[in-house]
Amino acid sequence: MKKEWPLWEVFIRGQHGLNHRHVGSLHAPDAEMAIKNARDVYTRRKEGVSIWVVPSAQISASDPGAKDSLFEPSMDKIYRHPSFYDIPEDVGKM
């Protein structure tokens, strides 16, 4: 019998309340082992307080070829940024 352990994507949340962040991947037979392995491989130096693992095969990704149509539209909407608006200094901090 020969079957390679499936690949898992590992997400770690650090101590300071930030989101879980993708840190890499690893092989494991199941989710439980994936979490145990993730602890050894990705948190040897207090990198996190919470681990998520997701089978890599379950990740759906955007098409790299569609980069322009997906992300270009946000480029010309500078009014979405606070710096677009001139608020007179008299108004104070806003």
Partner 1 sequence: MYAQMVKTDADKVRDISEMSPEERAFQERIDRGEKIEPTDWMPDGYRKTLIRQIGQHAHSEIVGQLPEGNWITRAPTLERKAILLAKVQDEAGHGLYLYCAAETLGVSRDELIELLHAGKMKYSSIFNYPTLNWADIGAVGWLVDGAAIMNQVPLQRTSFGPYSRAMIRICKEESFHQRQGFDIMMKMAKGTEAQRRMAQDALNRFWYPSLMMFGPSDKDSVHSAQSMAWKIKINTNDELRQKFVDQTVPQAEYLGLSIPDEHLTWNEDKGGFDFSEPDWSEFFEVLKGNGPCNRERMDARVKAWEDGAWVRDGLMAHADKRAAARQAAE
Give 61 or 94: the residue with its C-beta nearer to partner 1.
61
Give 21 or 87: the residue with its C-beta nearer to partner 1.
21
* Structural contact between residues 16 and 40, judged by C-beta atoms closer than 8 angstroms: no
Q: What angle is formed at CA 18 by the lines to CA 34 and CA 11, rounded to 5 degrees? A: 15
User: For partner 1, which residue of 11, 25, 51, 53 counts as binding (CB under 8 A)?
Assistant: 25
List binders of partner 1 among 53-92 (CB under 8 A): 61, 64
At closest approach, how far in Å is the CB of 49 from partner 1? 19
Handedness of CA 56, 59, 65, 70 (dihedral sign): negative
User: For partner 1, which residue of 1, 57, 75, 91 counts as binding (CB under 8 A)?
Assistant: 1
At closest approach, how far in Å is the CB of 74 from partner 1? 19
Among residues 7, 11, 53, the alpha carbon closest in space to that of 26 is found at: 7
Give residues in contact with partner 1 (CB under 8 A): 1-5, 7, 24-27, 29-30, 33, 40-41, 44-45, 61, 64
